[in-house]
A and B are shown apart, each in its own frame.
Chain A
Amino acid sequence: MRAVITVVGKDTVGILAKVSAKCAESNVNINEVTQSVLEDMFCMIMLADISAMNKPFGDFSDEMQKLGDDMGMSVHVMHETIFNSMHRI
């Protein structure tokens, strides 16, 4: 089971660190990271393994969203199934 974490907003110091720290704290293993900075806009997509996550998915999603709000960025966590079902037959 994997989750897609997206982070979008104004680039600043420590975004990746804070997001990955929260993942580690929740026992979520990051598999892949795609990241780009266009001018000062930061955009990151993470694929993370949530099979051994130590909390319910909804709580993890809420915590990530709160982390995003604190940093002034938009952070979203979505289950991989939604992408698979939308884009794969």
Chain B
Amino acid sequence: MINTHEILETITMIQDENLDIRTVTMGISLLDCMDSDIDEACNKVYEKIVTNARNLVPVCEEIERELGIPIINKRISVTPIAIVASACKEQSPVKFALTLEKAAREVGVNFIGGYSALVQKGFAGADMALIKSIPEALAVTDHVCASVNIGSTKAGINMDAVKIMGRVVKECAELTRDRQCIGAAKLVVFCNAPEDNPFMAGAFHGVGEPDVVINVGVSGPGVVRAALAKSEGLDLTGVAELIKRTAFKITRMGQLVAQEASKRLGYPFGIVDLSLAPTPAVGDSVAYILEEIGLECCGSCGTTAALAMLNDAVKKGGVMASSRVGGLSGAFIPVTEDAGMIHAATIGALSIEKLEAMTAVCSVGLDMINIPGDTSAEVISALIADEAAIGMVNSKTTAVRVIPAIGKKVGEELNFGGLLGNGPVMKISTYSPAKFINRGGQIPAPMQSLKN
């Protein structure tokens, strides 16, 4: 028998503390759509996506209405297009991006991810052509997201790819300079990319995945913060326990929605991503949790330790709540998508260097950070290399999604609107790493023993 307290707790979480399901993402394999004729391949891709995902949005809306919990985004991830395009004779894979866009519009999803290449150990097939086409593909589409995996713990870091990606990130921003440089916000450069991630912009459907699968990402920083605010006087052991219990409840919601969506759509349930994903809405912020734990402002000394504890507690609570866990799983720290991070960056309390340290202990990486438009491609490449090194050495996913604000300087702002938010242009070191980046080659895979 459920009691009044539990009913009111759940309703308060949803209505006042921004608890929601961030995304239901349908992963679709496009391996059976390959064809030497690109137009034929695109037709197959369109048909496969539209046939499988036609009911995704209506079913999610039905679940939203029945359970009374908002599902903010409905998304699709597909097999990395570089693999699908490798059979095509035509050089540029941009037609695939246009096809993904058309399919996304037809089925009404918010994003479609998978304009991707996996090049951690080298380039094959259409990898290079796809990477070079990313700026154009992201400029001519609205819903398509791209990602490139340039390193892994097993392979090391492909520094030739890192060098290219610095230029690609910059071109993405330049080609969309009249739209707040949005192109760069739809591109993620990964190390150790997960194959079942439901979150954009880095979602793609790995080749080891089933044909079609349902993955769910939960949210809920507001709930964790509110729970902490209501419990004065706890020591950090108590704080960690409270976060675990709250994460359990949040994740149960994700598990329920994932099971329902899987049953109603008739596709297997993949994973629940145990994430604390913020939104720019006031109160729905990971930075505010850190401040509730006891920091004056996110970015102060102590931020990394507090975040490490938060991230670990979220996983411990979430693992118990779901039968299948995967994706990125952990706290996200995207600067422009988090009201507290935006504030901390604006007043100068949070720097890119501190964010880099934070990425060593949390879910993803340098995410949604605006950097000056005149930042050189080599500096961006070196930033990617630094972040990838953290992921490679620590056997975790790290990523870089920075937006060069073309024509803007430190302190000015970019405003993307919606979930992507807005934020100040942050200062980045301008000392040149050009010689290091231009060497190219591969940073070898790290030792997995003698861990110090």
User: Which residues in A have some Cβ–Cβ distance to B below 8 Å?
Assistant: 4, 6, 34, 45, 57-58, 61-62, 76-88
Contact = CB atoms under 8 A, between A and B. Distances in A.
Contacts of B121: none
Nearest to B254: A85
B385 to A, nearest CB: 43
B65 A61 contact: yes
B256 A85 contact: yes
12 contacts: A4-B2, A6-B11, A34-B4, A45-B7, A58-B66, A61-B65, A62-B65, A77-B68, A79-B66, A82-B256, A85-B255, A86-B252
A85 B66 contact: no
B253 interface: yes
Interface in B62-99: 62, 65-69
A4 B15 CA distance: 15
Contact of B253 (A6, A76, A77, A86): A86
A87 to B, nearest CB: 5
A62 B15 CA distance: 16
B110 interface: no
Contact of A82 (B4, B8, B65, B253): B253
A81 B67 contact: yes
Contacts of A58: 62, 65-66
B442 to A, nearest CB: 47
B256 A57 contact: no
Contact of A87 (B6, B66, B68, B69): B6
Given A82-B253, A85-B253, A61 B66 contact: yes
A87 B65 CA distance: 20
Given A4-B7, A76-B11, A84 B65 contact: no
Nearest to B255: A85
A26 B9 CA distance: 27
A57 B63 CA distance: 10
Interface residues of B, number: 20
B105 interface: no
A78 B253 contact: no
A83 B6 contact: yes
A83 B7 contact: yes
B249 interface: yes
A82 B255 CA distance: 10
B10 interface: yes
A6 B252 contact: no
Contacts of B255: 85
Contacts of A82: 10, 67-69, 253, 256
Contacts of A77: 68
A57 B62 CA distance: 9
Given A34-B4, A58-B62, A87-B2, A81 B10 contact: no
A62 B61 CA distance: 13
B68 A78 contact: yes
Contacts of A87: 2, 6, 9-10, 249
A49 to B, nearest CB: 14
Contacts of B256: 81-82, 85-86
Given A84-B2, A86-B252, A76 B10 contact: no
B4 to A, nearest CB: 6
Contacts of B6: 83, 86-87
B396 to A, nearest CB: 29
Those 8 A-B pairs whose CB atoms lie nearest each other, nearest first: A78-B68, A58-B65, A85-B256, A87-B6, A83-B2, A57-B66, A86-B252, A82-B67
A39 to B, nearest CB: 18
A57 B61 CA distance: 12
A45 B62 contact: no
A77 B68 CA distance: 7
Nearest to B251: A86
Highest count of chain B CB atoms <10 Å: which of A45, A62, A82? A82
Contact of B10 (A34, A57, A62, A86): A86
Contact of B68 (A45, A61, A84, A88): A61
